[in-house]
Amino acid sequence: MTEKKEQKESYPKYAPGTHVHDKDIYERKITYTWWEPEVQYSWSLGPAMSRFLQELKAGKIIGIKCNRCRRVIVPPRMFCEYCYGPTSDWVYLKDTGTVETFSLSYLDADARRIEEPILIGVISIDGASPKHGFMHYFGEMKPEELKIGMKVKAVWKPENEREGSITDIKYFKPFRGGEE
C-alpha cells in the first residue's frame, strides 16, 4: 500500500497561470484596460439609528431594551436579533465604558503607511449589557497606556460642531473615578 502511494503522482501536477508584476502595468508591458467607478450612496437610517445619532448630537448615548432577553443593546435596533421580537424601551447610557479590545494602526483606510498610530478599539458602554458597545478612537493617552479592561470616557465635539454622527464623539480618553 505504501509503495503504491509513493508511485502516485503529486497533486496538483502543475501550476497553470502567468505571474505579472506591478511594474508590468506601470511600464505597459502587458495589455490592460482601466475603469474608475463613480458611484455615490445616501442611506436613510431608519428609526433606531436615527434616534441614536440624534442623541449623539445632543451629547448623549442611548440604547434600547429587549423585554424578552432583558438585554440593554447599543447600538440600538428596532428588533432583537436573537429573540426576534420588537425592542421596547429606550435607555440613556453613560458616556463611559470599558476597553474590550484595541489596535494601534499604522495603516490608514487605504492601507497607506502612517507614522503616528491611530488608536482604535471596542468600548463596552456603561449601562448597557456586558460586551455591548461600539468601535471608536482613543485619545489623550500614549499608545503604551492603552490596555484591555481600562475605563474610558467619551470626549465630545463642541455642541455647534456636532452633526448626528458617530464622530460627534471625538474619541474616548482614560477615565479615572470621580471625574465628570
State the residues that interact with other proteins by CB under 8 A. 5, 8-22, 25, 30, 35, 37, 41, 43, 45, 49, 53, 73, 75, 77, 81-82, 100-111, 117, 120-122, 131-137, 148, 165-167
Q: Per-residue x/- mask for Zn ion, residues 22 to 61, rule CB under 5 A? A: ----------------------------------------
Report the residue from 48, 53, 61, 80 that binds Zn ion according to the rule CB under 5 A. Answer: 80
54 binds, among other proteins, Zn ion, none (CB under 5 to 8 A by kind): none
Of residues 7 and 160, the one with the C-beta less far from other proteins: 7
Residue 119 C-alpha cell reads as 488608536
**H or E segment and range at residue 90:** strand 90-93
Kindly state the cell numbers that stand for 38.
Answer: 463613480
Coil, helix or strand at residue 137: strand
| Residue 113 vs 176, nearer CB to other proteins | 113
Does residue 69 belong to the site contacting Zn ion (CB under 5 A)? yes
Q: What are the cell numbers at 22?
A: 506591478
SS3 for 174?
A: strand
Closest CA to 134 of 104, 99, 109, 103: 99
For residue 175, the minimal CB distance to other proteins (Å) is 19
Strands 72-73 and 61-65, sheet pairing: antiparallel
HSE-up of 47 (CA within 13 Å, CB side)? 8
In the complex, least distance from residue 139 CB atom to other proteins, rounded to whole angstroms: 13
What does the alpha-carbon distance between residue 122 and residue 128 come to, in Å, rounded to a whole number?
14
129 in Cβ contact with 153 (< 8 Å): no
Nearer to other proteins, 24 or 179 (CB): 24
Q: Please state the closest distance from residue 135 (CB atom) to Zn ion, in A.
A: 22
Residues that bind Zn ion (CB under 5 A): 66, 68-69, 80, 83
